[in-house]
């Protein structure tokens, strides 16, 4: 039972990373990334392939995941950032499916639908219970660190410019903000964070396969961010833990319902997830911890109009 709880908390940490990714792209820049799970998968594959088959040390594998996430994020933005928001949503959704198709079909590259088993662990699995505890510490530290980083970015002039782009990109452009560059930066960094989360998750579960990267994962992260607070990194962090708690709750609830088959139980869980997102959007669209209005620092107001 304790091991189970630790496992769940590690997974929650991975989702906290994904939630930071979505906070950066959607919360701050207003870019709806419906292909989040695609970047998650790319990171997982990059690190798994380089460490398992290439024999690279794990830190280099993680670095490869981050860089590949950054690069693919940039590629997706280059072709889509001049488009309207709704086009971006559609293209990113398609992108994640293409990633899954390539992962399933390019057997020579990715191992096909069998996936990659036996992905090396970050720390020796032989440590037994301590392995999971140490992983919990590593993943939690990483999630908190990323949360602080995104929080810092959000409060920086760069983050303010991003929010200006989110609110009204024409006004932001008139004010001299490089709108497309800002969007590309936010989207690519967000993609890199998602890729890092994927790499960590792959190393932790030791298994990477196309079937893991279902579009439902993207929905989970949207649920986490909406629950916690769109545009507020701390809110997204808390939201990820709420999400995992909720997912576990639905597991128990689905098991309690008498006389339904495993397929029906799984369907019930997904229905509850969908309903939760619909209800949240309706009742508490800003989440538990809404984004706060930023005030300009005291004393700078009269001259604060520069930049």
Are 213 and 96 a contacting pair, CB within 8 Å?
A: yes
x/- site string to another protein, residues 276 to 295, per CB under 8 A? Answer: -xx--xx--x----------
In the bound state with another protein, the residue whose beta carbon lies nearer, of 15 and 95, is: 95
Q: Which stretch binds another protein (CB under 8 A): 5-13, 144-152, 192-200, 256-264?
A: 256-264
91-110 residues near another protein, rule: CB under 8 A: 91, 93-95, 97-98, 101-102, 104-105
> In 156-178, where does DSSP find H-type helix?
157-167, 169-174
Separation of first and last alpha carbons in the chain: 55
| Residue 306 is a binding residue for another protein (CB under 8 A) | no
24 near another protein, rule: CB under 8 A? no
Residues 6+ apart with CB under 8 A from 72: 38, 39, 42, 191, 195
253 binds another protein (CB under 8 A): no
Give, in degrees to the nearest 5, the angle at Cα 33 between 88 and 103: 100
Closest distance between another protein and the C-beta of residue 185, in Å?
Answer: 20
Close Cβ partners of 30 (under 8 Å, ≥ 6 residues apart): 85, 165, 166, 167
Judge whether 64 and 38 are in contact, CB under 8 Å.
Answer: no
**Any idea which residue has 């940039």 for tokens?**
74
Quick one: which of 4, 53, 87, 301 contacts another protein (CB under 8 A)?
87
CB of 256 to another protein, least distance (A): 16
Where along the sequence are the contacts to another protein (CB under 8 A)? 30, 32, 34, 79-80, 82-87, 89-91, 93-95, 97-98, 101-102, 104-105, 216, 219, 222, 261, 263-264, 266-268, 270-271, 273-275, 277-278, 281-282, 285
């Amino acid at each position: 039972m304790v091991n189970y709880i630790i496992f769940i908390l590690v997974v929650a940490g991975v989702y906290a990373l994904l939630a930071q990714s979505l906070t950066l792209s959607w919360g701050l820049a207003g870019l709806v990334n419906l292909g989040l799970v695609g970047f998650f998968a790319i990171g997982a594959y990059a690190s798994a392939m380089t460490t398992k088959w290439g024999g690279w040390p794990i830190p280099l594998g993680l670095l490869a995941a981050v860089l590949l996430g950054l690069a693919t994020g940039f590629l997706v933005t280059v072709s889509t950032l001049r488009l309207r928001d709704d086009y971006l949503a559609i293209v990113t959704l398609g992108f994640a499916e293409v990633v899954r198709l390539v992962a399933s079909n390019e057997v020579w590259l990715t191992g096909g639908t069998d996936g990659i088993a036996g992905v090396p662990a970050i720390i020796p699995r032989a440590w037994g219970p301590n392995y999971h505890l140490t992983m919990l510490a590593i993943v939690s530290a990483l999630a908190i660190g990323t949360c602080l980083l995104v929080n810092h970015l959000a409060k920086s002039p760069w983050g303010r410019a991003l929010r200006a782009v989110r609110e009204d990109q024409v006004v932001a452009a008139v004010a001299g903000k490089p709108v497309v560059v800002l969007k590309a930066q936010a989207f690519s960094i967000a993609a890199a964070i998602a890729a890092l989360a994927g790499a960590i998750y792959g190393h932790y579960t030791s298994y990477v396969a196309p079937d893991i990267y279902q579009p439902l994962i993207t929905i989970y992260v949207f649920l986490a961010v909406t629950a916690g607070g769109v545009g507020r990194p701390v809110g997204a962090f808390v939201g990820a833990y709420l999400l995992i708690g909720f997912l576990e709750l639905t597991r128990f609830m689905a098991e309690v319902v008498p006389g339904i088959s495993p397929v029906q139980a799984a369907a019930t869980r997904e229905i509850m997830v969908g309903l939760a997102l619909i209800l949240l959007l309706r009742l508490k669209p800003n989440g538990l911890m809404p984004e706060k209005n930023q005030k300009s620092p005291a004393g700078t107001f009269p001259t604060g109009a520069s930049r």
